[in-house]
Amino acid sequence: MTMMIASAVSICGVSAAIATAGAIRGDAKKLSYVVSLVLITAIPMIILMPYIANYWGMSEKIAGAWLGGSIDTTGAVVASGALVGEEALKVSIIVKFSQNVLLGLAAFAISVYWTYTKKTDEKGQAIKPTLGVIWERFPKFVLGFILASLLFSFFLSQEKITIVKESLKNIQTFWFVLAFTCIGLETKFSDIFNTDSKKPLYAFLLAQTFNILITLVIAYLLFG
């Protein structure tokens, strides 16, 4: 739970939590809990953070960097950046995508760390930390993300991208909606706010608050 919360807050939200759960073979219910925290927290942030940015008179670059570095889901970043302005939207997307790219490195590091620190499996049997074990634990969807990004960034012409983009977007939307519907079916709000879940909830909220504040400072240092 600690590792999934930490990766969700510090890297890129839901995708990071899922990648971490795969690397450490985390409990599916705990993963669902963390994903629910990310999504529920993102809703007020989408509305409140652009309002705060406009109220404080932030430049669009500062506001965009703040939003992109603080809000944990890409869709929420796009929505909040659009509320501030066109330039804020561009900066927020670049910052968020930069975090998304780091997911591959983070997933590999977590896979290596967990393999070398956890010497036994779920049945208590010894695990030898080999490259095969690291590969088995590494979340493979991260490789698909990297390969697709490289392909569309450097090998396909803009004409071909334009042709296939719309159909791929429809496929992405279908699987995205299906995935989050399944997460919703596993999530109980009573579980999030009950007594046993208070420590993870407080940990997530404290980490997110720190994330918002330190990102604001960095945004001012870089763009102020």
Is residue 115 included in any domain, yes or no?
Answer: yes
10: burial class by Cβ within 10 Å (0-12, 13-18, 19+)?
middle
Is residue 62 included in any domain, yes or no?
Answer: yes
Q: Residue 68: which pLDDT band, with cuts at 50, 70 and 90?
A: very high
**Of residues 114, 117, 113, 71, the one with CA closest to residue 95:** 71
Number of domains in the chain: 1
Residue 115 lies in domain: 2-155+188-223
CA dihedral in degrees (190, 184, 79, 104; nearest 10)?
110
Is residue 160 included in any domain, yes or no?
Answer: no
pLDDT tens-digit map of 116-139: 776 665 565 666 667 777 787 777
The two tokens of residue 194 are 């009950």
pTM of the model: 0.78
pLDDT tens-digit map of 15-55: 888 888 888 888 888 888 888 888 888 889 999 999 999 99
